[in-house]
Amino acid sequence: MLKKILIGLAVVLVAIQFYRPAQNVSSGPASNNIGNTYAVPEDVKAILSKACNDCHSNNTVYPWYASIQPVAAWLDHHIDEGKGELNFDEFLSYKPRKAHHKMEEVNEMVKEGEMPLESYTWIHKDAVLTEAEKLALANWSVAVMDTIAKQYPEVLIPQKR
């Protein structure tokens, strides 16, 4: 009986290798990238590149194990979730209120150590943020929020119900 179960598992593992989700790789420049309107200092660009963009942009740098199922499906799910929450390559398509709120969330999550995810930093040790990097991201997010608030003062006015 155990032998049949192991053979069944082996067949399933081999079969799922043929499932290949589309990879998160964009071919052209991102016209809605946050950097096209809001200043992104070089140090922040480096931080975003090493710790954020794999899940929060339209371009993921895939590790070697990303072609092995079920890991590939798990990664694909995390990337979809991350882009659903915040996509720096689509940031300019957000309404001002949403953009302001997303930068507020960046500030909170980075300060509280919730981002990058611990499951990401287990494998990507370079994505662990130092206190100086957290401060740089937090300050940048506040600067973007301030710019949005100046451009769209109605962002800070509570909606009437």
> Structurally, how many domains does the chain consist of?
1
Is 161 part of a structural domain of the chain? no
pLDDT value of position 148: 94
Q: What is the pLDDT of residues 27-86, one digit of tens each?
A: 767 789 999 999 999 999 999 999 999 889 998 887 787 777 777 777 888 888 899 999
Q: Is residue 95 part of a domain?
A: yes
Please give the residue range of the domain that contains residue 134.
2-156
Per-residue pLDDT tens digits for 65-74: 777 777 777 7
Residue 161: which pLDDT band, with cuts at 50, 70 and 90? very low
Query: Mean pLDDT throughout 102-110?
Result: 94
Report CA dihedral (138, 140, 143, 147) to the nearest 10 degrees: -130
User: What's residue 101's pLDDT?
Assistant: 94
Using the CB atoms, write b or e for 80-112: b if 16+ within 10 Å.
Answer: eebbeebbbbbbbebeeeebbebbeebbebbee
Domain membership of residue 129 (yes or no) is yes
Q: What is the mean pLDDT of the chain?
A: 85
In this prediction the pTM is 0.79
Give tens-digit pLDDT for 113-130.
Answer: 888 888 887 777 888 899
